Amino acid sequence: MSETRVLPEPHKYAVCAPADTPIKNFYKGIYDEVFIFYHPFIKPISIGYDLFEPETYPGKNEIIEKCQMVTWNQFLTISEIESYRHLDIGLRTRIMGLKKEYANEVISKKIQDTCEKHQLIAPMEGFFPEFLMNKVLLSIKHEGHDWIWSGDEFCTERKLEYIDDLINDNEALRNQHLNLFTHNNEVLLTTHWDSHFSLLCSDKDTIKKIVKFAGLEGFFCDEKTDIYWSLRNTSFN
């Protein structure tokens, strides 16, 4: 008779909050604040639109050099989608990430039509955003960190990385369910596997510095914010 092996609970300083609990409550006692930042759309400029397929998807630095970033705010304007909440729901609907009663096929089609009209690439779920990561990593380096740990979804495997290497490597940060955290757990960057945004966890002053330096678009979590914030009855737009 084989023994049942049960994984230990993951270290909270190194993984994404689960979808069924308020985010700040999950990190309570570890990180004071959490900032949700949206993954931007991509507009190819000096690179082929048709290259954005799994087999030929460009690397991080190639995207930064040869494409233009389109923020969620800019996409709302050109798509005439009403709010960030609706855009998040539409992106989730596109990947069949919502139950039927929560999905919105009308917004999903608006996203698809807008991307086709303006030759835009929608952000991919579960990956760090290529356009932002070099600036985020550089801002973490400015906070005094030369090294950062990278881990898989539950951080059962992790590797210590030199931040400059991650910035310079065109193929870095391609792994799905990646978590990045500083050596003494001052900062955590993590992305939910079925979402189009990432979490930046730290103290408020550090987060504000990183948000300003990297030009992140998003919002601070309150006590009720969870991974599916766009579905909740909230005043946030």
pLDDT digit string, tens, across residues 47-71: 999 999 989 999 999 999 999 999 9
Q: What is the mean pLDDT of the chain?
A: 94
Stated pTM of the model = 0.94
- Whether the per-residue pLDDT at 177 is higher than 80: the answer is no
In which band, very low, low, confident or very high, does the pLDDT at 135 lie, cut at 50, 70 and 90?
A: very high
Nearest to 60 by CA among 132, 149, 165: 132
Phi, psi (rounded to 5 degrees) for 68: -115, 140
pLDDT of residue 94: 97
In which band, very low, low, confident or very high, does the pLDDT at 235 lie, cut at 50, 70 and 90?
A: very low
pLDDT of residue 236: 46
Give me the count of residues in the chain.
237
Contact indicator for 145, 187 with CB cutoff of 8 Å: yes
Query: pLDDT higher for 235 or 63?
Result: 63
Structure-token pair, residue 81: 């989608």
Q: Helix, strand, or coil here: 142?
A: helix
Phi, psi (rounded to 5 degrees) for 89: -65, -40
pLDDT digit string, tens, across residues 80-93: 999 999 999 999 99
pLDDT of residue 154: 86
Contact indicator for 193, 28 with CB cutoff of 8 Å: no
Query: pLDDT higher for 103 or 1?
Result: 103
Segment 115-138 shows an average pLDDT of 95
